[in-house]
Structure formats: structure tokens, C-alpha cells
Structure 1
């Protein structure tokens, strides 16, 4: 599908080549059409995204969803795609071996269907947030390689099978390559070897043949050693006829770091392998407290990632990892950092929100 633009493609491409620093972040793109401005201001993100063919999504904190009506209302208003922040992870679904609890995950899926939203599944396998009975069993030797493979297969069929037909895409394996561009040292790699990755995709495809199946990771926005390791992994998986359909680029950025180089080039090389692409967990944190320069740099980073998605041919969705600073995961993980989302703690739009709306409004396919 050929990409067309309401603004010059060269201008967007040039913006993507800029390096973001607190001192040199460019202004978010601005439209000169007053009518377009007024129309966009009255719409949510899902409204302005509609004509581009790129879904706009958010991760959902189910505790906040149930306790905070403005949070729940904003999800319905702003997004046409959702992903569970935690409630589809293995450690949440099967805290006790053999006892599966899909209550919270089913609630999210049911709500999404009522709101006309698609659901991404996150995640079938990760090295974190696994049930204690699994990690303890492997550590003690109670669970050996043969049993671990059986447990993994059962897990995939139980979880992907439970949501069969209701999930548009799954992050099948999450963060399987480390920051040195090697396969991550996990209990799965140690006991099962690298073949477990192909097994996971094959099982997921059997469990839900219509779901798109993704690799997903952070620090792979641009062309670098880690994203190249994924590129080579995908080529091998495709050569082995493994049903891998997409590459998920998380997009956890910080304004204090250079903007990743060659984002569009990176996206396009995965698309040339026959994959869909998606930005799956976008947020842009900053050292606290915020100031005008940091806030402007944040707006640019959100917009630049979205521009890369819109300019690509097979980028299907752009998902923010939470949308309000009220419930952000960032302060609890990155000491002294925060304000990473597109709405503030009172659900007021920040310049990053406006930048996304403008980018969707100007972009098209």
C-alpha cells in the first residue's frame, strides 16, 4: 500500500533525522489550517487516527480501570486499541499451578469489545513476572527440561486458546535478546535452548490461527546491534517456516538521551522481511521536575516515533504504555524520573498529546 501525505514527506523524513536533546528539541509540527485545528481539538486521538489506518492504543491498569471513572472514560474516548499492562502475564493468570484466573483479563477484553476497540495480548512469555511455582521449581531442579517444555506448551494453549478469536495480536516472546545483542540468559534458554522461541510461535499459531504473532523488545527503535540481532533472528525464523508475523518496538525513551537514529529505516527493514510492525509501549520519561524544554523534547519524541509509523507501509498500531502520569510505572522504576505520559496526573492534555493529534491529522495513507 503506497503511503501518501497531506504534508511533504521530505519534511517528516528530515524531522526523523534530528537528534533530540533538551537543548535542541524542535517544535512539534503545527498545522496552519484553522478549521482543521478546531475540528481536531474537538476529537479524541482515536478520531483523528481513524483515517490513517494506524490504531492508537494504550496499556490499561485494571486496578485503576475499576477504581477511577475518568481513567476508564479516557480509555474509551481516546483509544481504539488496548493492551493489558499486567493482567495477561503468566504470574497474574496462574499464581497457583493449574489454577487459572482470567477474571481481570476477560473484563478488559469484554470492555474493549463494547467500546469498539481491538486487543493486543501481552505477553505469552517473558523472563519477568512469572509464577513463583515455575521459577522455584526450575531453580530447585523439581522441573526439568522435559517438563518445562510441556508446561510452556500447556501455558500457550491455555492462554492463547482462552482468548482465541478475541485478540488481534500477541507478543509471543518478550525481550528475548539482551542489551549486548545476545539471546537473553533465562531459564527457558538454559533448559530448552534457542529452539524454544520457534516452539512458542508454532504453539501460539496452533492455539489461535488468526492472531498476529510478534517479537517485542525495548532499545530496538533505531538500527543498532540489538535490533540487528532481531533482524537476523527473524530471517532465521522465516527460513524455518516459523509463523512470526510482526516486530514490536516498545519505544521507552527519555528526553535526556539522544533520539534513536534511523527509526524509519529500521522499521522498513523488518517490513521487507514480510512483517507487520508496531510501536507497542511508548512513553518518554524525563528527570524531575519538568520544565518547558523537557516537555517540548517529550512532545517531539512522541511525534517523531509516530511519524515513522505513519511513513512506513506496514506499521499497524502505536500504543502508549499508559496515558496519564497519575498511574505511570516510571517513578517506581527510574529514580528521580517521571512525567512520561501524554496526559498529566489530572488527565489534562500535555504538549505530547497535542503533538500526536497533529501528527495524525497531518498524516495519512
Structure 2
């Protein structure tokens, strides 16, 4: 669906002055529109006044403090004090929590990343960590990102080298999922990654991870698409939706979990600000077009707290709110897209009337709703982190269906096997 730039603004006005992003997303049939945050940011009262508004953000993701380095800094010593801060904040404001994350190659305590492990000992350590943390947060999380960023950026769909893969092999992934499922039978279990939002070897490999987990008889409920995009290099809605549908066809739900759209040079031009709005709406429209897409999370909403400037020098202004906590044109266009979906994609008569008035009184053009033309993403979507190297694999038999028996069977089959280095992932067909 397409609206003129002035009609876009009018459509927002017609939904009512208090219509906010989560409220509009729910009206459009989605479960949530949310934001990530971090502990230190919660001391900012102007920021938290917006973050705590469940009509704007109906879901919260803890950005850091549920990660391994915070929750088990020493082996067998678990601490959830910092992780509880964001979770309690969200629950006190009636917001869903996407818990993040259990197994990741980064932000590990040195006793894990630099330890000397066998298959058996690392499997037991990983299972113990997952069991403790998932049990602690049982009943508080909508979902868990069980394994985060297991794939490399080599361009061939290979696994990222990390302590888990190098020691256990690819079956560390279903073992982790089985342990999480055994600890909380109700929480949704996700695989989460970036640069899988568009067609390519990495997306194909992520589909293979779903196959790997399901083939082991282990529960996986969803796949998270991080969505750290670049202004002008974001795929159109149709291309994004096509990939989402590939995953939904495997019986899992999908979600955008860490959305931001960064400018590569600052300050941005007016045209780049408009393009950013277009790119954000492409993502929103993709989710709206896919029934199995349950929601959208932005990787913080406030430019002041964005991770982008510290990671990509000279880049930034990637969020929906600027440094003054003012809504950007991207916010206006996102809210318009959600509002349009909530009304079946047809502007009401009152919206049309307001649009006519807007055309008569406004001299500035707002961003268009969406672009569905293919985008050149191969060169534009820079990798977030340094790539891994060669991939490895171990074989394991299909495990029993129940979470407990799956974990035991996978652990038994993976333990004691030697990882052999390979040049590509064994279960996907590589494409150019």
C-alpha cells in the first residue's frame, strides 16, 4: 500500500493524538512493538518516561545484563541482580520481555572463553548455565534468545568459530535448546542472528539451523532477525517478507529483534533522513505482510544510547528518537504504516479530509511509506563483527522428542567426539 507523504502524516493524526507504536502494532494484528534498553539508561527519567509507556513500547529486551559475563561471572556462581533490573522494570509496566541471551560467543567470562574443555565438560557447563538462568526467569520471559549469532560472516554460510563450536561441534545448538526447553516448558525458544534478513548463504545456513534443531527432535519456536540496517541499503518490504516466509514455512514464528537504520555519514541530508524513514517502514511492512511475524523490537529508541557510534566510527543517528528525545520522521512514517494496517490499509474519510488540509498548509514533504524495489545489500550491509574462520562439524543421531531426553541423548552423542575442521557447513548447499 502507498500513500502520499502528506496523507502519511494525516493518517497518523486521524488515529488520534495518543496512538503509539505498540498500540498501533497490536491493532494491526501483531503481538508487540518494543525496544531494547540497558541498566544505566534507567536512571534517565526523561528517557524512562517514554520507555515505560506500554502503549509506545509493549515489549522490552535487556541489552546486556542477562548475558553470561553478568549472570555467571565465576563457574557455579550465579548472579541475576543486574538482569533483574530491566526485567522488573518491564513487568512493573506490563510489558513483555524478550530475554537475551543464553549462549553467545561474545561477552563470555574468561573462565569460559579461555578454559580448557572436553566435549563432556563444556556440555555440562553450558547446560548448567542455561538451566540456572532459564529457571530463575521462568514465567517472566515471553521468549529466550537461546543461541545468538552462531554463523560467521565468511559469506559461505559456515559456523562462527567459538569455544562451543570448536569443542562440541554444531550440536551445541540443539543441546542448548533442549536444556532451555527442559527448564521452562512455556517460554518461546529463539535462534537470533544478523545479516539473515535477505537472501544469501547466511540466511540459508540459518534455515539449516532450524532443520538441525528440529531434526534432533528439539523444540525451537522462533527465529530472530536482528536487522541492523544502513540507510539506502535496506531491502524492500517484498524481499524482506520473502525471507521471513521461508522461515515461517518451517513451522516457526519470526520477529525483528534489534532494528536500527544507521546513517553512514553525519550529519545526514534531508534526503537521507527521508530515506531512513522509508527503510524503517520497509521493515515494518515486511512484518505486517507475514502472519508469522509476531513483532518488532528496535535496538533502543534514543540516539543518545545507540550502540552504533561506538562500533561504526562516524556513523549513527540510527534510532526513532533523536538526541533531544524528539520523534524523527521515521517514527511518523512507522506509526503511519502501522495505523494503515490497522485500518485494513485504507485511509478513513476523516484521514482523507485531514490529508487535504495538510496538503494545503504544509510545505515540507514527509517520507513515503515504503519501497518494495530490490536493494543492493551485498555491499551495503556491513558485518557487525569480525568474521570467523573455518567451520567444523560433529555428527549426532536424532534425539528423542522430549526436552529432557533430547538433551541427554544429544549430550551423550556429542561427548567424546573429535571436531574435524571443514571448509563449509555440512548441512547446507552453498550458493553464489
TM category (shorter chain) comes to 0.7 to 0.9
What residue number does 1:108 align with? 86
2:174 and 2:112 mapped to 1: Cα distance? 21
SS of residue paired to 1:338: coil
Q: Does 1:263 align with 2:219?
A: no
Does the 8 Å CA contact 1:29/1:358 hold for their aligned counterparts? no
Deviation, structure 1 residue 44: 2.2
2:6 and 2:16 mapped to 1: Cα distance? 14
What residue number does 1:194 align with? 170
Deviation, structure 1 residue 33: 5.4
Q: Does 1:151 align with 2:88?
A: no
What residue number does 2:371 align with? none
1:312 and 1:44 mapped to 2: Cα distance? 21
Q: Does 1:62 align with 2:39?
A: yes
SS of residue paired to 1:262: helix
Change (3 A) 1:28 1:170: farther
What residue number does 1:233 align with? 209
Q: Deviation per CA, 1:89-128, whole angstroms, max 9, x where unpaired?
A: 1112122332222112212222212211100011111110
Does the 8 Å CA contact 1:40/1:48 hold for their aligned counterparts? no
Cα RMSD after superposing both structures: 1.9
Does the 8 Å CA contact 1:303/1:356 hold for their aligned counterparts? yes
Deviation, structure 1 residue 241: 1.7
What residue number does 2:229 align with? 253
Aligned residues: 336
1:247 and 1:224 mapped to 2: Cα distance? 16
Q: Unpaired segments of 5 or more residues in structure 2?
A: 345-432
SS of residue paired to 1:210: coil
Q: Does 1:320 align with 2:294?
A: no
Q: Does 1:346 align with 2:324?
A: yes
2:328 and 2:307 mapped to 1: Cα distance? 18
What residue number does 1:3 align with? none
Q: Deviation per CA, 1:333-354, whole angstroms, max 9, x where unpaired?
A: 0011010100001110001111
Does the 8 Å CA contact 2:37/2:62 hold for their aligned counterparts? yes
Q: Does 1:49 align with 2:55?
A: no
> Aligned to 2:101, which of 109, 123, 139?
123
2:269 and 2:233 mapped to 1: Cα distance? 16
1:134 and 1:187 mapped to 2: Cα distance? 8
Does the 8 Å CA contact 1:28/1:296 hold for their aligned counterparts? no
What residue number does 2:359 align with? none
Does the 8 Å CA contact 1:325/1:345 hold for their aligned counterparts? yes
TM-score, normalised to structure 1, is: 0.87
What residue number does 1:297 align with? 275
TM-score, normalised to structure 2, is: 0.74
Higher alpha-carbon Rg: 2
Does the 8 Å CA contact 2:306/2:318 hold for their aligned counterparts? yes
> Which 4+ residue blocks in structure 1 deviate beyond 6 angstroms?
none
1:31 and 1:345 mapped to 2: Cα distance? 24
Does the 8 Å CA contact 2:70/2:82 hold for their aligned counterparts? no
SS of residue paired to 1:100: coil
Q: Deviation per CA, 1:138-173, whole angstroms, max 9, x where unpaired?
A: xxx3x3332111110000001111001110101110
More moved, 260-269 vs 318-327: 260-269
